[in-house]
Amino acid sequence: MSSYMNRNPTGKNQHGPLPTADDPQLQALLQRLHREQKTDSQIAETVMIELGRSTIKRWRGSLTLLKSRKVAKTTHLQLLEQAILNQMESDPSGRHGVRSIWSRLAFEENLHVPRRIVAEVMHVHAPEGFEYRAPEGRNPTRTEKFPLGPHERWSCDGHDKLNKIGCSIYGIVDDATSRYLGIWVVPSNREGTVVAYLYLSLVLSYGGIPIQNASDCGSETTQMAGLQMALRDEYSLQEHNVPAHSYVTSTHNIAVERGWRRIREHWGDNAFLRFNEGISEGLYNPDDPLQHNLSRWLWSFVFQQGLDKAVAFLNAKKMRLDRDKPGPSGISRDDAFRYPSRWGGRDDLLIQVDCDVVSAMRDEIYEEGLLSFVDSDFAMRAHNALKRLNLTLEQVTVENAWVVFTQLLPLMK
């Protein structure tokens, strides 16, 4: 008898089979992580399988997910330059710096370009932008904060950038991680019922409330504050040394105020410019009731879709590393929120609530047309007119919205 004995003739072990690169779920995950510029070790941690670098490299190769060094070697410089210029063209206000353009190429086009090349192209084609974006004298002094973890505090505020064109924005940001939890385009952010409805919608999406809400002292926040206090009194299992709702000045509502600046730079300024082009080019008369309603109906969807994309990008974008900063840095807002242990945060701060009760509360305050920009009859007519153009709202962007508007207008008369 042979002295050799195969102790595992089936080849099976406790680890189970590895997923293969043709697995659709794995492909979608890898593409998302590639857009978010995750490293091989971060990919292995997310997949939660002990993997060697060669396996991840093989997966990347099978899906043509090239790292920046490989892109620089295999892609003609002129093509990379054009991709960078396309991103710069989509930013007519010139707010996006090197890091933003570099991250957007990865997030929007799955294209990893060396940051050095991005900087060189931007210096050649738009050198004045670097001086314009210089932070000296433009930003207030930062106040240091010492966060405990996600859901310690939700920072709430309205943004009035779009008020002049008939839209408002309301947002809620996680204070500890700066992650955008919800940003909505609404007819008015000065209505208490609107703010309360959005707050309860967010509570339902997470199944709980934070230890504390923070907002300015506007009258539109009193209903939300009352709901937060009532829910914490009912469902919190422990005493807290902070009030359920804190009224603060804008300069102390740091997370959401800083968040508005990023929203403005990555989306708001460009969206505002695109909208005003319709007026300056004579495509839109705001004094005409039909045009006014059609514009509100169409552009409210365009703004929300653009805002959703900007928020997804900002949440996935890695924050600048600051070793002296308390709390998360050097990781994305999404990762800081999902994996608080990576920066020393806690993951047990969300106060669980009865969602059936919260849903009933939300239904009780809802009024017909609360979040609508036009009445239901006008909205139905506009939807039918858009169908006649063989278009869906998802196909309308800030770049083509005025073209679609001019095509819709005669069909609405």
pLDDT at 251 over 80: no
As a whole number, mean pLDDT of residues 205-233 equals 93
User: Where are the extended beta strands (E) located within 216-322?
Assistant: 245-247
- Could you tell me which of 377, 393, 368, 398 has the C-alpha nearest to residue 165? 398
Domain residue extents for the chain: 24-62, 68-132, 153-319+326-365
- Could you tell me which of 120, 149, 126 has the C-alpha nearest to residue 336? 149
Q: How far is CA 122 from CA 86, 92, 96, 126, in A?
A: 11, 14, 10, 5
pLDDT at 172: 97
Lowest mean pLDDT among 138-142, 170-174, 204-208, 334-338: 138-142
Choose the most confident range, by mean pLDDT, from 9-23, 82-96, 157-171, 246-260: 157-171
The bridge status of strand 212-215 relative to strand 208-209 is: unpaired
- Please tell me which residue, 204 or 86, carries the higher pLDDT value: 204
Which residue type does 201 have? S
pLDDT at 9: 55
pLDDT at 160 over 90: no
pLDDT at 12: 52
pLDDT at 136 over 60: no
Within 13 Å, how many C-alpha atoms sit on residue 393's CB side? Answer: 15
pLDDT at 288: 95
As a whole number, mean pLDDT of residues 253-260 equals 82
Q: What is the largest CA-CA distance in the chain?
A: 98
Q: Burial code of 390-409, b = ≥16 C-beta within 10 A, e = fewer?
A: eeeeeebebeebbebbeebb
CB atoms within 10 A of CB 87: 23
pLDDT tens, 345-402?
A: 999 999 999 999 999 999 999 999 999 999 999 999 999 999 999 999 999 999 999 9
- Could you tell me which of 177, 154, 345 has the C-alpha nearest to residue 248? 154
Q: Which residues pair with 220 in a beta bridge?
A: none
Confidence of residue 269 (pLDDT cuts 50, 70, 90): confident
Share of the chain above pLDDT 90, in %: 49
- Could you tell me which of 25, 31, 103 has the C-alpha nearest to residue 65? 31
pLDDT tens, 43-63?
A: 767 765 556 667 777 777 777
Confidence of residue 3 (pLDDT cuts 50, 70, 90): very low
pLDDT tens, 277-291?
A: 998 999 999 999 999
Instruction: Write out the CATH class of domain 153-319+326-365.
Output: alpha beta
User: Where are the extended beta strands (E) located within 238-316?
Assistant: 245-247
What whole-number distance in Å separates Cα of residue 360 and Cα of residue 341?
Answer: 35
Q: Where are the alpha helices (DSSP H) in 324-375?
A: 333-338, 355-365
Share of the chain above pLDDT 70, in %: 88
What whole-number distance in Å separates Cα of residue 123 and Cα of residue 98?
Answer: 10
Q: How far is CA 40 from CA 25, 37, 49, 57, 60, in A?
A: 18, 10, 12, 8, 10
As a whole number, mean pLDDT of residues 239-249 equals 89
CB atoms within 10 A of CB 78: 8
Confidence of residue 1 (pLDDT cuts 50, 70, 90): very low
Lowest mean pLDDT among 22-26, 102-106, 203-207, 279-283: 22-26
pLDDT at 20: 65
As a whole number, mean pLDDT of residues 258-263 equals 86
